[in-house]
Amino acid sequence: MNTDFTKWLRGLPDDRLRALVAARPELITPVPAHLEGLVLRATSPSATGRALDRLNRFALAVVETLLVMTVDDQAGLTYAGLHEAVARSMPPGDASELDGPLREAVDRLRMLALVYGSDKALRLAPGVRDVSEAPAGLGPPAAEVFRHHPPERVEELIQAIRRGRAGREEAVAERLAGLLAEGSVVERLLGDIGPQARAALDELAWGPPTGRLPNARREVSVATAQSPIEQLLARGLLAATGEESVVLPREVALVLRGGRVHRDLRPWAPPLDGAERDQDLADRTAASQAFSFVRTVEELCEHWSVDPPGTLRTGGLAVRDLKKTTQVLDVPEWITALVIEVAQAAGLIASTAPVDGEWLPTTAYDGWRVKATEDRWEVLATAWLASDRVPGLVGERDDRDRLLNVLHPELRRPAAAEVRLRTLRVLVSAEPGLAPSPESVRERLAFEQPRRRSGYRDQLVEFTLREAEQLGLTGLGVMSVFGRRLLPGSVRAAERPSPARGRVIPPSTPAELLAPLLPEPVDHVVLQADLTAVAPGPLTSELGRWLALAADIESKGGATVYRFGESSIRRALDAGSSADDLVAMLERHSTTPVPQPLHYLVTDVARRHGRIRVGSAGAYVRCDDPSVLDEMMADKRATPLRLRRLAPTVIASRSSRVVVVDSLRAIGYSPVAESSEGDVLVTRTDSKRTERPSATRPGLGVSGPDADLVAAAVRAIRAGDEAHLARRHPVPAPDGQVPRTPSTGTIVALQEAIRQGSRVWIGYLDSQGHATSRILEPARMEGGYLTAYDETRAAVHRFALHRITGIADVN
């Protein structure tokens, strides 16, 4: 373990230590026993890699500069030397503005414990060098490259470089590295090679520093070199790392780069470019999209209430069910997949069983659908933002060439929520009214997290931009005012001047910002003589659900056209309505009188509805009018039902009740089902429900751990470290009776001791029920347990709160 790094970390004040573990929460999961445990965890390869992944391109370039400019972790570099090295990598015009960004980057690296020490000797934390491969696209140092070459071969290279001068006594690899570290020597060697050899070096100079070469370990000297590559191998400007691979030593590459570690380094994020839009127009467009998405989710749940699709054995939704749902919703298939996934993420739909179940609306859907539209949208958008599933992958195939269906378990991607959030934050950072292009968004993200750039992340960014537009977080590519407020920690982002109104929108909830922008629902339709109803705008939820039951949607758009037919009227009657109820509903919500053809249709269907009743025998059919049953018995289309006359008004069938009802309706009759007691069975479209899954959705994970948890963890680490350093011996337990106090008073006293960092005397029941005295330094209290340093045992322990009999001050 690096003692200097441990000493530096131990000397940090508590606020700096809290900032460290807040920025790197994995260091306190679980809480280490002392500072040395924290050091071991912070310098592990996985934790160091995570910390480097959080750096933007400029901060990572500072780390890479320290890696290149220092030989090992113990060697320090002054802040002035670092400033000079970084300035060489920047365009001349930008180098004058380096002071502020470089100081900010160094302070952040210290805060993350990736760099430590004073400005007189900045050092890399242990472990950083181990996880940094080819920093800044540079190859390994010459000493490492030539370490495994035969000594006689390295000696030949030294003689070729020195041109016959005597060598020194140190190892040949270090001697060769020392020569190549002299810029003048490399410049002289570069002058001895031809233009083709120099062009080959220039190809490798800015990375990647490796290349493939047949017979790379060939024996060659300056005198025998024939090809350009052999000229480089003979002078040590290229080195073989395998039978068919070569690498450019770091010292040579730095000379080729002119002493620069990076090319055109800039400390600022690339600007966002794109189309300029009117912000108010973008907000209205986004609100319209949000309204449509909410209604589409509601339409999905209503449809699946009466016609639920099955759950595949492998999980998810069958392709045929997706296509069927797409036709019902009348949207593109990718939007259907998004709607289904968001509804599932919000807990509005769930499967009744992992295998061979059905996808049904949950009981939570009934509470969701009675909320205001803006509140319903906020539920959906929040669920999408936090979801670890990627609906955009629907239709693609996994590694084993299996199709990825909607709701398939393999649609989960751990990085989805983080990429989604970072992408939206880039849009929030744009000026109001700017719709950033996808290319500029990807470039900004590549600057913010250069180590995580990949084609996979670019695909997630593309999905995020497309889905955000569909959900209404963005409009015309511009982040909406209510979408800005939805993001965690974006209170200031929601405060923007409104050019149309000349005022500042105060911070508010996303729903409150969305509400004024939503179209006003209408509670009326225009009935027409062709058995259609025209909705001139978005209908209220109640009227919309009723019309969806009593009519079929014929077309959508600015106005929705509903068509009444015999089957739709019968559907409403099956749900328990009467002819008078239907006519009254039409009269109440129509701006025109009910057309006579529609009135006739309702009364005619209602007159025939329920005259025939079907029960269970296999099934039976009864009707008060024997002539109707005579007609049915004579109908050849009823032959598959194998009907048999039991009485003038009763017919029996071997088929089930459901089959008989469906078959008779198919040939033109209007039967209703009845129970064994003779009561009509009323079916409702919203009768099928399932329980909402109890599993909770993961949080966004962007705000870091709770401040109280961080403070408690630091106190526990400090207490454990103090015990670890002091190696204190146990102190005797106090004399007298063990403290006994009410449980509420005990909890309050412990919380106060944690806050003040004071010692307390407690009574504690051991596993056998015997009361013992303990002197404690409480650190934190959570989950029914107290973590504290036990002075009577000289160790850190956890104490069950229900076993503490009481508490008293220590004299």
pTM (2 d.p.): 0.71
Between CA 367 and CA 378, with CA 372 as vertex, the angle to 5 degrees is: 85
Q: Is 318 helix (H, G, I), strand (E, B) or coil?
A: coil
* DSSP state for residue 794 in the 8-state scheme: T
What is the rounded CA–CA span in Å between residue 486 and residue 762? 47
Mean pLDDT of the region 687-698: 58
- The two most distant CA atoms of the chain are separated, in Å, by 125
pLDDT at 112 over 90: yes
Contact assessment for residue 653 and residue 622, using Cβ atoms and an 8 Å cutoff: no
Residues 6 or more apart from 258 whose CB is under 8 A from it?
88
**Please, where in the chain does CATH 2.30.30 lie?**
728-809
Contact assessment for residue 67 and residue 132, using Cβ atoms and an 8 Å cutoff: yes
Q: What is the pLDDT of residue 688?
A: 65
What is the rounded CA–CA span in Å between residue 350 and residue 689? 9
Angle between helices 35-42 and 3-10 (to 10 degrees): 120
Q: What is the pLDDT of residue 29?
A: 84
Which DSSP string corresponds to 196-250? HHHHHHHHHHTS--EEE-TTTT----TTT--SHHHHHHHTTSSEEEETTEEE--H
What is the rounded CA–CA span in Å between residue 572 and residue 301? 18
β-strand 672-673 against 612-615: which pairing, if any? parallel
Angle between helices 596-608 and 566-574 (to 10 degrees): 50
What is the rounded CA–CA span in Å between residue 39 and residue 35? 6
Contact assessment for residue 489 and residue 424, using Cβ atoms and an 8 Å cutoff: no
For residue 102, which phi and psi values (nearest 5 degrees)? Answer: -70, -40
Of 788 and 555, the one with more pLDDT: 788
- Cis ω on the peptide bond leading into residue 778 (within 30° of 0)? no
pLDDT digits 0-9 by tens, 297-308: 998 998 898 888
Under the banding of pLDDT at 50, 70 and 90, the label for residue 275 is very high
Under the banding of pLDDT at 50, 70 and 90, the label for residue 756 is confident
pLDDT at 556 over 80: no
Mean pLDDT of the region 569-588: 83
Q: Which residues pair with 475 in a beta bridge?
A: 478
Under the banding of pLDDT at 50, 70 and 90, the label for residue 500 is very low
* DSSP state for residue 10 in the 8-state scheme: H
Between CA 558 and CA 564, with CA 536 as vertex, the angle to 5 degrees is: 100
Cα-to-chain-centroid distance, residue 326: 26
Cα-to-chain-centroid distance, residue 811: 53
Contact assessment for residue 388 and residue 416, using Cβ atoms and an 8 Å cutoff: yes
Mean pLDDT of the region 623-639: 87
Domain boundaries 728-809, CATH class:
mainly beta
Q: What is the pLDDT of residue 498?
A: 44
The distance in angstroms from the start CA to the end CA of the chain is 40
Contact assessment for residue 345 and residue 337, using Cβ atoms and an 8 Å cutoff: no
- In 10 A of CB 185, how many CB atoms? 17
Smallest CA-to-CA distance from 641 within 623, 655, 656, 657 is with 655
CA distances to 216, 695, 707 from 629, rounded to whole Å, are 96, 54, 78
616, exposed or middle or buried, with CB in 10 Å at 0-12, 13-18, 19+? middle
* DSSP state for residue 703 in the 8-state scheme: S
pLDDT digits 0-9 by tens, 199-248: 988 888 887 888 888 888 888 888 888 888 888 888 888 888 888 888 99
The length of the chain is 811
pLDDT at 797 over 70: yes
Of 616 and 641, the one with more pLDDT: 641
Q: Is 773 helix (H, G, I), strand (E, B) or coil?
A: strand
Q: Is 769 helix (H, G, I), strand (E, B) or coil?
A: coil
**Ramachandran quadrant class, 24 (left: phi over 0; alpha: psi -120 to 50; beta: rest):** beta
What is the rounded CA–CA span in Å between residue 560 and residue 482? 27
Average pLDDT score over the chain: 84
Q: What is the pLDDT of residue 101?
A: 92
